[in-house]
Structure formats: C-alpha cells, structure tokens
Structure 1
Amino acid sequence: MTEFVLVPGLFTGQAVWRDTAGKLAAEGARVQVVDVGPVRDLEAHIARVVAAIDTIAEGQDIVLVGHDYGVYPAVGAADRRAHRVARIVYLDTGPVQDGAVALAAVPDQELRERLAEDGDMKGELPVPSREEWSRWGSTAGVSGEALDRLTAHASPQPLGTLLRPLRLTGAGDGLPTTGVLCAESGATIDTVRMLLRFGDPTMKALVRPDVTFFELPTGHWPMLSCPDELADVLLRAAAGEGTRLEAVGEEEAGEEEAGESGYLRPFLLDVPEIPRERRGAIDLYVPEGGHVSEGTESGEPRPAIVFVHGGPVPEDARPTPRDWPTLIGYARLAASRGAIGVTLDHRLHAVTAYPTAAEDVAAAVAEVRADPRVDADRIALWFFSGGGPLTAPWLAEAPPWLRCLAASYPIMAPLPNWGVNDSRFRPADVVAHGGTPPFVLIRVGREAPAVATTVAEFVGAAEAGGAPVEVIDVPGAPHAFEGLDHSDAARDAVGEAMGRVLGRLGLE
C-alpha cells in the first residue's frame, strides 16, 4: 500500500489538502498531511516530516509530496530517511540541492532581496489578504469559496524556515522523483524540454528513467482548483507513470513530440545563404545584390531590423541564440528583402536579469545605428518569446528613428512563478496610454495558457489605448513554430509579418 506524506507550502497547513487527501483515501491510499505547527526554522520542519515518516510501518511505499516551500522539508526528510522513501513529488516547484535556501520559494524578487538583507531568523511573513494571494502564485481555477478557505486557515510563515540553508548528506540523491507542473503558473513540460535542449545542467540531471513529469492546466494551488485531478496525478506518480525526459530523441518520437526547441530546427522558409559579419555580441547580415526597393540604390545606407532572442537562456547554452537557425533565418530573410538583419546575444540568463538584458539590447542597437551602412533613422526591433518584456522600455520612450516593433509568440509580462515585479518590463502598462510605435505581433494558437494570458492582456490594453498593434494569428502553430510547423499558414504568417515591418521601414 502507498502512503502519501503531504507537506504544505507557504502559509498553508492541513486544511488546504482536505479534498485531495480525501480523494486519495477514497482510492485506497493512506495519507498524512504534515502539521507544521509552531516550527521556527527549516530543521525543525524537517524533523516534523521525519517524525511523520517514522510513524509509517515498514513495507509501505512512502511518497513525499512538497508544494512550493514544502519541498525543502520534504527533500530534507528524504535525505534523513532515504531507505524509507519510494518517491518525492515536486508540486509546482523546482528541484533543490544541498545549500539551497527556501527563500527562493518566495515569488517576489523585491521581497526576497529585502528578507535576505535583513536576515531576521526570528521574524515571520504575515498572512496574505484574500486579494494578495495572486502575488504568491497564480490563483487560476480557485473558486471564491476555496480562496476564502485558503485565507481563513493560513498561518504566518516563520522566516527561519526560509533563511536557513538546506543541508543534505547526499543519501537521498537518486531517489525517484516526479514534477507536477501547473501550466497557469508558467511551467510546462515543453518548457522543461526546452531548458534541457539549451543545456541547462539542472534539467540534465533529471534525464533518468525514474524521473517523470505531469502537467495540470491550472494555477499554483491545484489542491484547491482541481483536487480530484491532482489526486489522480499523485496516484499515477506513485505508480511510476508520467512523461520522461529521456524520450526526446527523434528516434523515439516525431519532431514536435520529441520536444526539441523550434529555435534549433531548420527555418521554415528557404532563404539565401547570406554570410554573417560578427562584431562582438552582434552579427550583421548585409544585403548583397538581393531585393532592393525602388528608390534605394546600391551603396546607400539601408534600414536595419534587430532580432532580439528570448529566454531565459542558460549562460553556458550552446549554440548561443545568435547561432540558432530561427534567428539566422529571420536575419537572412530581412537581408534578402533589402534590410540589414541583425542578431545578438544578450544576458537574459535568469528571470531576474531583464535590466541587464535591456542594457545589452540598447548597446547593440546603438552599435548598429553607428554602422555607416545602416540608415540610423530607420530601425525596427523584433522580439521573441521571453524577450517580450524587453519591449516595454522601447514602448515607453520610443525615439523617432524607431519605426516599428515586432514580436513573435511573446511572453508579454513576467509569468506568475517568476517572482519578478519590475514595473519597467510590463508592456501592457505602457501601451495602454497610447502614443507608442507601430507593433506587429505574431500570435500562435497552441500557446501555453499563462503566456496566452499575457498576450491577451497586452492586446486588450493596446485596444483600450488606441495603440497601433497589428496581430497576425497562426491558429494551429506552437510556440517557436518556425522549426516545428512548416505549413503554408506558418510560412505565410512569417512572410506577412516581415512585409509589414519592412513597410514601416519604407522598403515595401
């Protein structure tokens, strides 16, 4: 028989698990929800989970389930009782290692920094109000009644549980694990696969037969929004079911199912092999005898389109973004139609690095404009995926030479599980006031729900503010579709978007 030990996350206790625990019990499993009680630090919380394990008879398959912060005491207890634990389930949270600090589970960058600076081990975080829960994770799917229950049963979070490092001996290394991802929080299996393809070392460590993943189409509190579905997933996880990362090669699956990022596959259009010119962090693709619009003579300065990759991309990812086939394809397409195409590498290596990435992009644009072959008064910027928030500074203070912005399947605001609250990178807040440059947006139909929400908010704000946003829909296409969908509709969308941008630059 399986016995689940459920470890609540920030502010929560036994009440939040009521419905899921009841469903598990009805299916024949035994369940304990760890009572955090008046623990003051992480070690005390780990001891509470160890005590729960020690009450379970030998021979039971023990599955530890940690929700956000709760994974820290769960993993700590597994390290102390590795021989008793059959599996660890990470519920809407990432992997943790020796020395990790649970403060990372706080989804608010500014608050994390302030708490780390204060270092007050004896204080506590106050319970969020009913209206504040969305700051601590997506509340998608949570009913008003459930939100009331969440608020009524919440308890202050002792800072000692968040500031004391997790200490592991390594005894629990290699235990079977399952990640349950909540799509409305911004985490999906496709995201995990993309990070794996980018070479993220954390993801590489999860390529094992006993590591599985599930995805739920809900927010951060599935025990409230879909308790029965969560119980079903936990039962399947205990049985060793789920998606495995090792099945990502083309020999096991088709191109899209294989999970390889579209950025790394061949571009959907045949474009001329225009050579690059590499200058520091930028590459230029300069037209040579390609299409030149009427009135533009050879040798005259040409407009430029700067293509800005998304992310976060691990710092050691290879190839780097400017060598991705998708970015090269767009730059060569632009050059074949008369503009100078530019790609670059910027330092969006973490969700907290948008300010650094913005500086890199601004520096690259300045360098491009200084090139004598570039018409410095005709520049367009084209952003991809996680680069979407980087459009906000250009929307807010658009110089006269910026003729157009474009974005392909963009993330138009920091996702709920990022914990980034920097108002400088929220394009919807800017575009709502109008007065922004023309904006061409490629929107895909098979987008992750959390990403689609940010796009809808941006488009709605643009409409309300009368901003000139032109949307090109590709209904059947996935995120990063250029390497995954070579249909006529996808090809036409890229061609149409390029035509509209070039038109703003005076080329078509």
Structure 2
Amino acid sequence: MTAFVLVSGPFTGGWVWQEVAERLRESGAEVCAATLSAEPGTDLETHIADVARLIDGVAAPDVVLVGHDYGIHPVLGAADRRPERVVRVVYLDAGMPQDGDAALALVPDPTVTDRAGDDGLVPPPTGAEWGRWGSTAGLTAAALERLDRLAVPQPSGTLTQPLRLTGSPFDRPTTGVLCTANGSGIGMVEMLVASGPPQFRVLADPRIGFFELDTGHWPMLSAPAALADVLLLAAADEGHRLTAPAHPGTFLLDVPERPRERKGRLDLHLPDAEGPRPAVLFVHGGPVSPDQRPTPRDSSTFLGYARHVAGLGAVGATVDHRLYGLADYPRAAGDVAEAVDLLRADPRVDEDRIALWFFSGGGLLSAPWLATPPAWLRCVALTYPVLAPPLDWRGVHPRFHPAEAVAAASSPPIVLTRAGLEHRVFAGTVEEFLTAAGKAGAEVDLVDVPHARHGFETIDHTEETRDAVDRAARRVLGRLAAG
C-alpha cells in the first residue's frame, strides 16, 4: 500500500487537501495532510521536522511526498532525511529548489517577508491578494472565501532559511504536476530541457514524469478529483517523459573562430576589416543560474552568433549579465548598459552604429531601449523573445514590458525572428508586441521560422533554421550600414 503525505503552500494547512484526501482514501491509499507549525520563530528546519514526523507515523512502507508551492521545500528536506521511506516526490505547481536555496527566491511573491510583523509572522493574503501567489482560475467564490477564512500567518523564517540537502533533489523517482492556467505546461518544460540553462537537462531523466492540469494554482480546491487521479497515476510511475535534445550545445552554422578579447562582462569578436566597425551586442536570456558553466557568452549559441557577425564584417559582442532570478531584471539591465558603454568606447567600434540583439527571457531587457532609443541605436533584434512578462513571472519590475514600450513612435527598426513551434505563452507575448508595434507604426522586419523551436540554434539543425540565422544577421547588419 502507498501512503501520500500532502504538504501545501504558505498560509494554508491540511484542510486545503480535504476533497483530494477523501478520493485518495477511497482508492485504498493511506493519506496524511500536513498542517505545519505556524508559531513565531518557526523556520524551514521546523517544517522539515514536521514532515519527517509525519513520515515516521505512516504505516505503509512506501511514502509519496507531495509538495505544493512553498511546500516543496520541506518536502525535499524531509525526503533527504528519510530516503529509505520516500519512494517519490511530486512537485505540484512548484519551483525547483536546490541545496542552499531559500524559498523567498522562488515563491511567486518575493516581497512577502516585507509584510512580516514584529513577531516575524507574515499575514495571509485576502481576496484578490491570493493572485500574487498564482492564478486563481477555477476557484469558486466559496473556495476563495474558504481560503480567506482558514488561512493563517506564515513564519518569515520558513521563507528565508536556505534548504540544506545532502544529495540531488532528483535522486529518486519524481513527478511534476503543472497547472496550465498558472502559465506553465509540459511544452514549457520541454523547451527548457531543449534550450534552457543546463540545470534543466536533468528533467529528461526517465525517472521523472509530468502531468498537466487545466486549472489554476490551487488544484486541490479547483480540481480535486482530477488532482487525486493524477497523484494515483504518479504513484504508479505514469506520466509524460521528456527526451534530451538531439544536438545539445552544437551551433547550427559552421563558423570559424575570430580574434576575441574580454573586457569584464563583455567579449569582443573582431572582424578582419580595418577602421571603426559597426557592432552588434548579443544579450542572452534567462533567468540563468550564477553557477552555470559555460556561461552564456561561452556557450555555442552566442559564440556562434558573435563569430558569424564578425565574419560578415561587424564586431560581434556578447555579455554575461546577472539575470539570476525574475527580480534581477534591473541589475541585468545595468550590466547591459555598462557593456554598451564599453563597446562604444572601444576604438575599433563605430560608436554611432550599434545594434542590440535580445534572446528569449532577455527580450524583456529591450524595453528601455525601445522606449527611449539613443541616436546611435540603429536596430533592435529579437529572437524567440519574451516581450511581456508571462502571468507567473510576478517578480519582474513593471518597466520591463517591451509590448508597452514599443508604443513609442521613436522605436528604432526591429528585426524579429519568430519560431513557429514556440511555447504558446511566449508566442502570445510576441503577438501582443506585434499588435502594439503595428498601432504605433513601428518598423518590424519579421524572420519567420515555421518549423523551429525555442532555442533552435542548438536543437533544430535544418536548412530552414540555418537560413533564418544568416538572414536575420544580414538584415541587422543592413540596418547598421543604412544611412
């Protein structure tokens, strides 16, 4: 017999699982729904001990731990301390914390501890404030009233104390349950595995399965029957499996190395041509891990783009900016601005002919340049970009919204490469951007790649994608040469 230990997110308790627990018990499973300590002074280790005690009290030999939202932190800590009992961990609309991560860096509302009282307790949300923590899609008025009525304060120490693990969170069978109305789905995870930061490659492990629920962030209240069914399937080792990309880390064009110089966070790939040359600064996406190796400017994608542009006669520049989390866009924007100043100050660069080329989540960093472009900015290029903060990117500063910034009539020419197989959430932000650009009369040159995925440079090696990269580069350089 399998036992389920259910651990919910902040401000809630075992009551939130009532309907799910009833259905699981009807199937013959043993169920324990956790109500974690909420007294002043409680920290993450207290909650880990709470979950470990529940595991110790379960009669069944095999325990499936389910962590929702913040609940994945004490779940992973308890699984690390009771490895012989825990046969599976289920991430229910939760982040992917690692050893050393505090929940505050991963929860949907990173400002939550600012509201803590003198006792260190954070008051629970009420009414529409629950939307800060995730989509309330599917919740009835009665369910929202229930959240308001039964919610309790959350000790701030549970959110600020780092998680400590002795091994990998994925050392055991794992299931991810994604709530699509909250912005994530299997397609998004597939994209991250194929073209995102290297830490996501672990999700292609055959021991990891995925399910989707077409509801918001609280499926235990909005879709309890469907969630119970999914948990039973997860315990039976069902679920969608991902596959690793066919061409990991290999740039789709065969481009020779160019002379390369490093200036702090900035790299310059130099052309053969003499005299000040126009330059293209490539701005990577994210968020990325600060421990990612190689860093973006040393990855095959950005080495490839910079070398290709240098081979065409311009300076190809790359920057490692510090977009490590959704709240880091202001810091990353400062890093990009600093790199631009270094680039324009180099005597081999024509300071009046600069293009900025943004990728993926780095697309949001284009907003300030689109809103108030300097005279030397001859082109803004965007490749499979995110051009408005998705619903679940609540930590993004509001000024990083290119779909609003492009409404400025002075926006420079734009070269936008659009992947036909883009994730629907990201594709939606591009359509929002194009609509706004059209109303503003902005000049947008589209490079469509119908059969390409997000990050296609290293996963889709076709004539179509090779042509798209070369076409986009030549159009950007054409803008630099014009006028």
TM-score of the superposition, structure 2-length normalised? 0.82
Equivalent residue pairs, number: 475
Matched, 1:359 2:342: no
- Matched residue, 2:262: 279
- Structure 2: which 5+ residue stretches go unaligned? none
Task: Give the root-mean-square deviation of aligned CA atoms.
Answer: 3.8
- CA pair 176-484 structure 1, distance change in 2 beyond 3 A: closer
Determine helix, strand or coil for the equivalent of 2:481: coil
- CA shift, 1:65, in A, is 0.8
SS in 2 for 1:343: strand
> Post-superposition shift, 1:33?
2.8
- Which residue number corresponds to residue 122 of structure 2? 124
Q: Name the counterpart of 1:156.
A: 152
Partner of 2:95: 94
Stretches of structure 1 that go unaligned for 5 or more consecutive residues are 249-253, 289-297
Please say if 1:136 is aligned against 2:120.
no
Distance 2:271 2:117 in 1: 57
| Distance in structure 2 (CA, Å) of the matches to 1:475 and 1:154 | 49
Q: Tell me which residue corresponds to 2:476.
A: 501
**Residue equivalent to 1:293:** none
Matches within 5 A, 1:96-495: 96=97, 101-104=102-105, 106-112=107-113, 114=114, 120-130=118-128, 132-139=129-136, 142=138, 148=144, 151-152=147-148, 155-160=151-156, 162-163=158-159, 165=161, 176-182=172-178, 184-186=182-184, 188-190=188-190, 193=193, 198=198, 200=199, 211-216=207-212, 218=214, 219-224=216-221, 227-242=224-239, 248=244, 255=246, 260=248, 264-267=249-252, 269-271=253-255, 273=256, 275-280=258-263, 281-288=265-272, 299-495=274-470
Establish whether residue 3 from structure 1 lines up as the match of residue 14 from structure 2: no
Deviation at 1:150, TM superposition (A): 6.3
* Paired amino acid for 2:353: R
How far apart are residue 400 of structure 1 and its match? 0.7
Give distance in 2, aligned partners of 1:224 and 1:469.
44
Preserved CA contact (<8 Å) 1:307 1:327: yes
Identity %: 47
1:212·1:237 contact (CA, 8 Å) conserved in 2? no
Q: Which amino acid aligns with 1:322?
A: R
2:7 maps to a residue whose letter is: V
Task: Give the 3 Å change call, closer, same or farther, for CA 186–466 of structure 1 in structure 2.
Answer: farther
1:358 CA displacement: 1.8
Q: Which range is displaced more, 462-471 or 317-326?
A: 462-471
Deviation at 1:335, TM superposition (A): 3.2
Residues 377 and 400, structure 1, Cα contact 8 Å, conserved in 2: yes
Change (3 A) 1:153 1:398: same
* Contact kept in structure 2, 1:82 and 1:172, CA below 8 Å: no
How far residue 479 of structure 1 moved from its aligned partner, in angstroms, is: 0.9
Matches within 5 A, 1:8-27: 8-14=8-14, 16-18=16-18, 20-27=20-27
Q: How does 1:69-84 map to 2 (within 5 A)?
A: 69-75=70-76, 77-78=78-79, 83-84=84-85
Q: Report if aligned partners of 1:432, 1:462 keep a CA contact under 8 Å in 2.
A: yes
Q: Kindly indicate whether the alpha-carbon contact (under 8 Å) linking 1:307 and 1:344 is maintained by their aligned counterparts in 2.
A: yes
Q: Secondary structure at the match of 1:404?
A: strand
Shift in CA distance, 315/168, structure 1 to aligned 2, threshold 3 Å:
closer
Say whether the 8 Å CA contact 1:11–1:156 is kept in structure 2.
yes
- State the AA in 1 paired with 2:269: Y
Distance (Å, rounded) in 2 between the aligned partners of 1:324 and 1:87: 34
Query: Taking structure 1 as the reference length, what is the TM-score of the superposition?
Result: 0.78
Secondary structure (helix, strand or coil) at the match of 1:505 reads: helix
Which is worse superposed, 405-414 or 217-226? 217-226
